[in-house]
Chain A
Amino acid sequence: MQGTPDDELLLLMLSGDRTGFLALYKRYKQALFRFAVRMLGDREAAEDAVHDTFVRLLEDGRAITQPTALKAWLYRVVRNESLMALRRVRDCSENPSDSVWGPETPHTGAERSEAKNLVREALASLRTEYREVLLLREFEGMTYEEIAAVTGDSGSSVKSRLFKARKALAERLAPIWNEERKAL
Protein backbone atom coordinates (compact mmCIF):
# COMPACT_ATOMS: atom_id res chain seq x y z
CA MET A 1 0.00 0.00 0.00
CA GLN A 2 3.02 2.29 0.37
CA GLY A 3 3.25 3.31 -3.25
CA THR A 4 -0.48 3.37 -3.88
CA PRO A 5 -1.74 6.87 -4.78
CA ASP A 6 -4.13 8.66 -2.44
CA ASP A 7 -7.03 8.54 -4.88
CA GLU A 8 -6.83 4.74 -5.18
CA LEU A 9 -6.75 4.33 -1.40
CA LEU A 10 -9.70 6.69 -1.09
CA LEU A 11 -11.71 4.71 -3.64
CA LEU A 12 -10.79 1.52 -1.82
CA MET A 13 -12.04 3.02 1.44
CA LEU A 14 -15.25 4.26 -0.17
CA SER A 15 -15.95 0.78 -1.47
CA GLY A 16 -15.92 -0.43 2.13
CA ASP A 17 -12.38 -1.78 2.26
CA ARG A 18 -10.80 -1.12 5.63
CA THR A 19 -7.23 -1.44 4.38
CA GLY A 20 -7.65 1.66 2.23
CA PHE A 21 -8.68 3.71 5.23
CA LEU A 22 -5.90 2.38 7.45
CA ALA A 23 -3.29 3.02 4.75
CA LEU A 24 -4.44 6.65 4.49
CA TYR A 25 -4.31 6.97 8.26
CA LYS A 26 -0.80 5.54 8.36
CA ARG A 27 0.30 7.88 5.59
CA TYR A 28 -1.04 11.11 7.10
CA LYS A 29 -1.30 10.63 10.87
CA GLN A 30 2.21 11.86 11.63
CA ALA A 31 1.99 15.00 9.50
CA LEU A 32 -1.51 15.89 10.68
CA PHE A 33 -0.53 15.34 14.31
CA ARG A 34 2.62 17.43 13.90
CA PHE A 35 0.56 20.28 12.48
CA ALA A 36 -2.20 19.98 15.10
CA VAL A 37 0.13 19.74 18.09
CA ARG A 38 1.98 22.89 16.98
CA MET A 39 -1.30 24.68 16.38
CA LEU A 40 -2.73 23.69 19.73
CA GLY A 41 0.30 23.20 21.95
CA ASP A 42 -1.45 20.25 23.55
CA ARG A 43 -0.82 16.61 22.63
CA GLU A 44 -4.16 15.27 23.79
CA ALA A 45 -6.14 17.97 22.01
CA ALA A 46 -4.03 17.38 18.89
CA GLU A 47 -4.82 13.65 18.96
CA ASP A 48 -8.51 14.49 19.29
CA ALA A 49 -8.24 16.77 16.26
CA VAL A 50 -6.53 14.06 14.19
CA HIS A 51 -9.04 11.45 15.34
CA ASP A 52 -11.98 13.68 14.42
CA THR A 53 -10.37 14.35 11.05
CA PHE A 54 -10.34 10.64 10.21
CA VAL A 55 -13.88 10.23 11.49
CA ARG A 56 -14.84 13.02 9.08
CA LEU A 57 -13.01 11.17 6.32
CA LEU A 58 -15.16 8.11 6.99
CA GLU A 59 -18.36 10.15 7.16
CA ASP A 60 -17.78 12.64 4.37
CA GLY A 61 -15.15 10.94 2.23
CA ARG A 62 -17.59 10.76 -0.66
CA ALA A 63 -17.85 14.54 -0.63
CA ILE A 64 -14.25 14.83 -1.81
CA THR A 65 -14.89 15.70 -5.41
CA GLN A 66 -11.24 15.58 -6.45
CA PRO A 67 -9.52 12.56 -4.92
CA THR A 68 -6.17 14.10 -5.87
CA ALA A 69 -6.93 16.93 -3.42
CA LEU A 70 -7.20 14.57 -0.46
CA LYS A 71 -4.10 15.95 1.24
CA ALA A 72 -5.45 19.52 1.19
CA TRP A 73 -8.84 18.24 2.39
CA LEU A 74 -7.27 16.44 5.37
CA TYR A 75 -5.20 19.47 6.35
CA ARG A 76 -8.25 21.71 5.99
CA VAL A 77 -10.27 19.49 8.32
CA VAL A 78 -7.54 19.12 10.94
CA ARG A 79 -6.97 22.88 10.80
CA ASN A 80 -10.67 23.55 11.36
CA GLU A 81 -10.79 21.02 14.19
CA SER A 82 -7.76 22.72 15.76
CA LEU A 83 -9.30 26.17 15.41
CA MET A 84 -12.51 24.93 17.05
CA ALA A 85 -10.49 23.44 19.90
CA LEU A 86 -8.61 26.72 20.32
CA ARG A 87 -11.88 28.65 20.38
CA ARG A 88 -13.24 26.34 23.05
CA VAL A 89 -10.15 26.90 25.18
CA ARG A 90 -9.65 30.57 24.64
CA ASP A 91 -13.31 31.45 24.11
CA CYS A 92 -12.24 33.96 21.50
CA SER A 93 -10.05 35.78 23.98
CA GLU A 94 -7.63 36.85 21.26
CA ASN A 95 -7.90 40.56 20.75
CA PRO A 96 -9.03 41.43 17.23
CA SER A 97 -6.10 43.77 16.69
CA ASP A 98 -3.69 43.74 13.78
CA SER A 99 -0.95 42.35 15.99
CA VAL A 100 0.94 39.28 14.84
CA TRP A 101 1.21 38.06 18.43
CA GLY A 102 -1.44 36.25 20.44
CA PRO A 103 -2.49 36.90 24.06
CA GLU A 104 0.81 35.67 25.49
CA THR A 105 3.73 37.50 23.97
CA PRO A 106 6.85 35.50 23.15
CA HIS A 107 8.86 37.90 25.25
CA THR A 108 7.20 36.77 28.48
CA GLY A 109 7.48 33.17 27.34
CA ALA A 110 11.09 33.58 26.32
CA GLU A 111 12.14 35.04 29.64
CA ARG A 112 11.13 31.95 31.55
CA SER A 113 12.29 29.34 29.06
CA GLU A 114 15.61 27.94 28.06
CA ALA A 115 17.33 28.99 24.88
CA LYS A 116 16.44 25.83 23.00
CA ASN A 117 12.76 26.45 23.62
CA LEU A 118 12.83 30.06 22.48
CA VAL A 119 11.71 29.30 18.96
CA ARG A 120 8.99 26.95 20.13
CA GLU A 121 7.69 29.52 22.59
CA ALA A 122 7.76 32.29 20.03
CA LEU A 123 6.02 30.12 17.46
CA ALA A 124 3.31 29.18 19.94
CA SER A 125 2.75 32.84 20.74
CA LEU A 126 1.98 33.85 17.18
CA ARG A 127 -1.65 34.50 16.39
CA THR A 128 -3.24 31.45 14.80
CA GLU A 129 -3.64 32.94 11.32
CA TYR A 130 0.09 33.67 11.21
CA ARG A 131 1.18 30.46 12.92
CA GLU A 132 -0.77 28.19 10.59
CA VAL A 133 0.81 29.54 7.40
CA LEU A 134 4.28 29.30 8.90
CA LEU A 135 3.68 25.71 10.03
CA LEU A 136 2.30 24.66 6.67
CA ARG A 137 5.22 26.24 4.87
CA GLU A 138 8.14 25.34 7.13
CA PHE A 139 7.11 21.92 8.44
CA GLU A 140 4.78 20.59 5.76
CA GLY A 141 6.68 22.09 2.82
CA MET A 142 3.56 23.39 1.10
CA THR A 143 3.59 25.95 -1.67
CA TYR A 144 1.64 29.21 -1.31
CA GLU A 145 -1.15 27.77 -3.48
CA GLU A 146 -1.37 24.61 -1.38
CA ILE A 147 -1.49 26.68 1.82
CA ALA A 148 -4.21 28.85 0.26
CA ALA A 149 -6.22 25.69 -0.52
CA VAL A 150 -6.02 24.68 3.14
CA THR A 151 -6.76 28.04 4.71
CA GLY A 152 -9.21 29.26 2.10
CA ASP A 153 -7.27 32.46 1.48
CA SER A 154 -5.68 33.88 -1.62
CA GLY A 155 -2.07 33.16 -2.51
CA SER A 156 -1.09 36.80 -2.00
CA SER A 157 -2.66 36.80 1.47
CA VAL A 158 -0.66 33.70 2.36
CA LYS A 159 2.50 35.33 1.04
CA SER A 160 1.88 38.44 3.11
CA ARG A 161 1.05 36.60 6.34
CA LEU A 162 4.04 34.33 5.98
CA PHE A 163 6.32 37.32 5.60
CA LYS A 164 4.79 39.08 8.64
CA ALA A 165 5.08 35.92 10.75
CA ARG A 166 8.75 35.47 9.84
CA LYS A 167 9.54 39.11 10.42
CA ALA A 168 7.83 39.10 13.80
CA LEU A 169 9.77 36.01 14.87
CA ALA A 170 13.02 37.48 13.57
CA GLU A 171 12.48 40.74 15.46
CA ARG A 172 11.79 38.85 18.68
CA LEU A 173 14.52 36.27 18.41
CA ALA A 174 17.37 38.10 16.68
CA PRO A 175 18.38 40.16 19.76
CA ILE A 176 18.47 37.00 21.90
CA TRP A 177 20.49 35.11 19.31
CA ASN A 178 22.88 38.06 19.00
CA GLU A 179 23.41 38.08 22.78
CA GLU A 180 24.07 34.35 22.71
CA ARG A 181 26.65 34.81 19.96
CA LYS A 182 28.40 37.53 21.98
CA ALA A 183 28.44 35.32 25.06
CA LEU A 184 30.15 32.47 23.20
Chain B
Amino acid sequence: MKCEEVELSISLYIDRALGAADTPELFLHLAQCAHCRSFLETMLHLRQELASMPEPEPSWTLDRRIGTLRVRRAGMAPKITSAIRLLWMRRLAIPLPAAAVLALMLLTASVVSYSLWSKVNAEPPKQEVIYMLPMPAVEVQAVQQESSLPRQ
Protein backbone atom coordinates (compact mmCIF):
# COMPACT_ATOMS: atom_id res chain seq x y z
CA MET B 1 0.00 0.00 0.00
CA LYS B 2 1.46 3.38 -1.02
CA CYS B 3 1.59 6.30 1.41
CA GLU B 4 -0.65 8.39 -0.87
CA GLU B 5 -3.35 5.72 -0.68
CA VAL B 6 -2.88 5.41 3.07
CA GLU B 7 -3.36 9.16 3.51
CA LEU B 8 -6.71 8.89 1.73
CA SER B 9 -7.58 5.92 3.95
CA ILE B 10 -6.69 8.00 7.03
CA SER B 11 -9.06 10.74 5.85
CA LEU B 12 -11.80 8.11 5.44
CA TYR B 13 -10.93 6.51 8.76
CA ILE B 14 -11.36 9.70 10.78
CA ASP B 15 -14.73 10.14 9.05
CA ARG B 16 -15.62 6.56 9.98
CA ALA B 17 -16.10 5.87 6.31
CA LEU B 18 -13.31 3.35 5.83
CA GLY B 19 -14.51 -0.16 5.09
CA ALA B 20 -14.00 -2.81 7.75
CA ALA B 21 -11.91 -4.83 5.32
CA ASP B 22 -9.47 -1.93 4.75
CA THR B 23 -8.92 -1.01 8.39
CA PRO B 24 -6.44 -3.79 9.34
CA GLU B 25 -4.37 -2.97 6.26
CA LEU B 26 -4.26 0.68 7.30
CA PHE B 27 -3.06 -0.13 10.80
CA LEU B 28 -0.49 -2.54 9.45
CA HIS B 29 0.96 0.23 7.32
CA LEU B 30 0.84 2.74 10.18
CA ALA B 31 2.84 0.37 12.36
CA GLN B 32 5.63 0.43 9.79
CA CYS B 33 5.51 4.01 8.43
CA ALA B 34 6.48 7.03 10.54
CA HIS B 35 5.41 9.45 7.80
CA CYS B 36 1.83 8.15 7.77
CA ARG B 37 1.70 8.04 11.58
CA SER B 38 2.72 11.68 11.58
CA PHE B 39 0.03 12.39 8.97
CA LEU B 40 -2.61 10.70 11.13
CA GLU B 41 -1.44 12.70 14.15
CA THR B 42 -1.65 15.95 12.18
CA MET B 43 -5.13 15.05 10.91
CA LEU B 44 -6.34 14.41 14.45
CA HIS B 45 -4.75 17.64 15.68
CA LEU B 46 -6.38 19.54 12.81
CA ARG B 47 -9.75 18.10 13.76
CA GLN B 48 -9.21 19.18 17.39
CA GLU B 49 -8.24 22.68 16.30
CA LEU B 50 -11.30 22.98 14.08
CA ALA B 51 -13.56 21.76 16.88
CA SER B 52 -12.12 24.36 19.27
CA MET B 53 -12.86 27.29 16.97
CA PRO B 54 -15.31 29.76 18.53
CA GLU B 55 -18.93 29.45 17.52
CA PRO B 56 -20.08 32.50 15.55
CA GLU B 57 -23.46 33.89 16.63
CA PRO B 58 -25.78 35.89 14.38
CA SER B 59 -26.78 39.32 15.62
CA TRP B 60 -30.26 40.28 16.83
CA THR B 61 -30.82 42.29 13.64
CA LEU B 62 -31.16 39.04 11.71
CA ASP B 63 -34.00 37.99 14.03
CA ARG B 64 -35.64 41.37 13.48
CA ARG B 65 -35.32 41.14 9.71
CA ILE B 66 -36.75 37.64 9.70
CA GLY B 67 -39.54 38.81 12.02
CA THR B 68 -40.73 41.28 9.38
CA LEU B 69 -41.24 38.54 6.79
CA ARG B 70 -44.82 37.53 6.13
CA VAL B 71 -45.94 33.97 5.67
CA ARG B 72 -48.20 33.58 2.66
CA ARG B 73 -51.17 31.32 2.52
CA ALA B 74 -50.96 28.79 -0.27
CA GLY B 75 -51.50 30.35 -3.70
CA MET B 76 -52.48 33.83 -2.54
CA ALA B 77 -49.92 36.59 -2.77
CA PRO B 78 -47.79 37.12 -5.87
CA LYS B 79 -44.14 36.19 -5.71
CA ILE B 80 -41.93 38.99 -4.45
CA THR B 81 -39.22 39.74 -6.96
CA SER B 82 -35.73 39.90 -5.60
CA ALA B 83 -35.35 43.54 -6.71
CA ILE B 84 -38.38 44.68 -4.75
CA ARG B 85 -37.28 42.58 -1.83
CA LEU B 86 -33.87 44.20 -1.81
CA LEU B 87 -35.39 47.65 -2.06
CA TRP B 88 -37.87 47.02 0.70
CA MET B 89 -35.74 45.04 3.09
CA ARG B 90 -32.46 46.87 2.79
CA ARG B 91 -32.63 50.23 1.14
CA LEU B 92 -35.71 51.49 2.96
CA ALA B 93 -35.00 49.91 6.30
CA ILE B 94 -34.54 52.66 8.92
CA PRO B 95 -34.22 52.45 12.70
CA LEU B 96 -37.36 52.80 14.81
CA PRO B 97 -36.46 56.20 16.40
CA ALA B 98 -35.73 57.65 12.96
CA ALA B 99 -39.01 56.26 11.67
CA ALA B 100 -40.87 57.83 14.62
CA VAL B 101 -39.27 61.25 13.98
CA LEU B 102 -40.07 60.97 10.28
CA ALA B 103 -43.69 60.09 11.02
CA LEU B 104 -43.97 63.06 13.41
CA MET B 105 -42.51 65.42 10.81
CA LEU B 106 -44.92 64.14 8.19
CA LEU B 107 -47.85 64.62 10.57
CA THR B 108 -46.79 68.20 11.41
CA ALA B 109 -46.25 69.03 7.75
CA SER B 110 -49.68 67.68 6.83
CA VAL B 111 -51.39 69.72 9.60
CA VAL B 112 -49.61 72.93 8.56
CA SER B 113 -50.31 72.44 4.87
CA TYR B 114 -53.97 71.69 5.59
CA SER B 115 -54.36 74.87 7.62
CA LEU B 116 -52.72 76.94 4.86
CA TRP B 117 -54.90 75.34 2.23
CA SER B 118 -58.04 75.99 4.21
CA LYS B 119 -57.12 79.68 4.54
CA VAL B 120 -56.51 80.09 0.83
CA ASN B 121 -59.74 78.40 -0.12
CA ALA B 122 -61.92 80.16 2.47
CA GLU B 123 -65.20 81.76 1.16
CA PRO B 124 -65.00 85.57 0.42
CA PRO B 125 -67.01 87.91 2.73
CA LYS B 126 -70.58 88.63 1.60
CA GLN B 127 -71.14 92.00 -0.13
CA GLU B 128 -73.82 94.36 1.35
CA VAL B 129 -76.47 95.41 -1.13
CA ILE B 130 -78.16 98.74 -0.46
CA TYR B 131 -81.40 99.28 -2.17
CA MET B 132 -82.14 102.99 -2.77
CA LEU B 133 -85.83 103.84 -2.91
CA PRO B 134 -86.77 106.81 -5.12
CA MET B 135 -88.66 109.62 -3.41
CA PRO B 136 -92.33 109.86 -4.27
CA ALA B 137 -92.87 112.11 -7.28
CA VAL B 138 -95.78 113.88 -5.64
CA GLU B 139 -93.75 115.06 -2.77
CA VAL B 140 -91.06 116.40 -5.03
CA GLN B 141 -93.58 118.30 -7.05
CA ALA B 142 -95.08 119.78 -3.90
CA VAL B 143 -91.73 121.07 -2.82
CA GLN B 144 -91.21 122.62 -6.20
CA GLN B 145 -94.65 124.22 -6.05
CA GLU B 146 -93.94 125.55 -2.58
CA SER B 147 -90.69 127.05 -3.72
CA SER B 148 -92.37 128.74 -6.72
CA LEU B 149 -94.97 130.58 -4.55
CA PRO B 150 -94.39 134.22 -3.74
CA ARG B 151 -93.10 134.82 -0.27
CA GLN B 152 -95.33 136.66 2.06
A residues whose Cβ falls under 8 Å from a Cβ of B: 13-18, 20-22, 25, 29-30, 33-34, 37-38, 43, 46-47, 50-51, 54-55, 58-59, 62, 119-120, 123, 137-139, 143-144, 159, 162-163, 166-167, 169-170, 173-174, 177
Contacts and interface: CB of A to CB of B under 8 A. Distances in A.
A72 to B, nearest CB: 18
B72 A43 contact: no
Given A59-B79, A139-B50, A163-B8, A14 B42 contact: no
A47 B56 contact: no
B55 A50 contact: no
Contacts of A22: 66
A18 B66 contact: no
List the 4 closest A-B pairs by CB distance, nearest first.
A16-B73, A163-B11, A33-B58, A170-B42
Contact of A47 (B46, B47, B59, B69): B59
B69 A58 contact: yes
Contacts of B57: 30, 33
B53 A54 contact: no
A177 to B, nearest CB: 6
Interface residues of B, number: 37
B61 interface: yes
Contacts of A170: 39, 42-43, 46
B74 interface: yes
B62 A16 contact: no
Interface string B7-27: 110011001010000000000
B85 interface: yes
B62 to A, nearest CB: 5
B116 interface: no
Interface string B27-60: 0000000000011001101110111010111110
B80 interface: yes
Nearest to B58: A33
Interface in B47-97: 47, 49-51, 53, 55-59, 61-63, 65-66, 69-74, 79-80, 85, 89
A50 B58 contact: yes
A114 to B, nearest CB: 13
A166 B17 CA distance: 15
B39 A62 contact: no
Contacts of A50: 58, 62
Nearest to A60: B79
Contact of B42 (A13, A51, A174): A174
Given A29-B58, A55-B85, A174-B42, 11 more contacts: A16-B73, A38-B56, A47-B59, A47-B62, A51-B66, A51-B89, A58-B70, A138-B50, A163-B11, A167-B11, A169-B46
A9 to B, nearest CB: 12
